[in-house]
Every structure is written in C-alpha cells, then in structure tokens.
Amino acid sequence: MKTNGARILESLGIAFEVREYEVDPNDLSALTVAKKIDMPAEQVFKTLLTTGGPGVYLFAVVPGDAELDFKKLARAAGLRKTEMVSLKDVQPLTGYIRGGVTVFGAKKAYPVFVDETAILFDRISVSAGARGVQIVLSPDDYLRAAEAQTADITKDIKKTSGAPGLVRRGGETWESTKSDSEGHAG
C-alpha cells in the first residue's frame, strides 16, 4: 500500500520497507503491532499528538513498550506542560486516525520529538499513515525526514533483579518508576 509517508520518504530518496498487517480495531496497541510485524516492541515507535496549550501542538514519538513522560516532553520543548490531544481532535489536526498517525504528511508540520532510544537500533518502525501499514527504516533517516530532535521523553525505568511488576526493555529486565502523571494525560 502506498501511503503519504511512503511517498514522502521516496521523494527524499530514503530507503525503507513497508510492512502490512491485519488490523484489529479493538486493539491498536504498539505491542500488538510489534508482534504482527515481527519486531521487538522497543523498536516499534508510536506517534502521539500532544499539546502545550491553545494552538501549540507537537508530536512525541516513543517506543511501543514505553510510556510518554509529559513533564520531560515539556522540558524538551521549552513548555510549561504538555498533555495528550483529545482523541476527537487528532484527525482534524493531523489528517490521520488513531492507529495510523504519522508525522509525514500531517496537515501541519508540528515539531517532532523522538525518544532518544531510537538511535540505539539499526532499524525502527513507525506508522506509514494508515492503520495496518508500518514503515521500517534507519533511525537517522527517520530523524532527518521528520526534521525531529531526540530527547529523553519516556518515563524512567531502573534496572532490577527480577521482582514482580517488571518491564522488559532491550533484552534486560527493568522496573518502572511511578510519577505523578501516571495513568492520566497531563
């Protein structure tokens, strides 16, 4: 399937691979997408539209196995605070529906912040701009094409020995730390 994301990357001469998968509209999670395209969740990045206040929007691109830290994103963007855009506003602002949001070809070129872990991998996956279609490419090419900057924008995790409540990242076991924004946007 040829999407806006694929067209834009082609126009920039960037090499990429398209991976299509069957969509379950009741499960659009990045973890499910990762399984369906046979990639580790930490290499499948989800694109989130956030706001820093009226008329201020930015994309946050984070690993599928991580959670966005709104305070860190605000600091990286030089804003007082950030929060998720209401789901009803995502399509009018980007032109894309939930599960198919990409920075490529969005209605406006909002600033893009990509979690710094992206550069740890040879290849990452991002939405191609339609549900059921992912683009796999090098992180450097993605950052260049998206005119993005990297920053530490995910919730902190600390290495642990194997206690309950653990998260797997990059082949190691980590324990998620809680922050006051846990469980809500903002």
Angle, CA 169 vertex, CA 164 and CA 170 arms, to 5°: 140
Say what the pLDDT of residue 88 is: 96
Confidence category of residue 156, pLDDT binned at 50, 70, 90: confident
- Tell me the pTM: 0.83
For the segment 19-38, the average pLDDT, to the nearest whole number, is 93
125-140 pLDDT, tens digit each = 999 999 999 999 999 9
Distance set, CA 108 to CA 13, 24, 48, 94, 172 (Å): 22, 28, 14, 7, 38
Q: Which strand (E) or helix (H) includes residue 6?
A: helix 4-11
100-115 pLDDT, tens digit each = 999 999 999 999 999 9
Say what the pLDDT of residue 186 is: 32
Bridge-based pairing of strands 56-63 and 112-115 is parallel
Bridge-based pairing of strands 83-84 and 166-169 is unpaired
pLDDT above 70: residue 161: no
Say what the pLDDT of residue 135 is: 97
68-90 pLDDT, tens digit each = 999 999 999 999 999 999 999 99
User: In the chain, what are the domains?
Assistant: 4-155 (3.90.960.10)
Say what the pLDDT of residue 25 is: 87
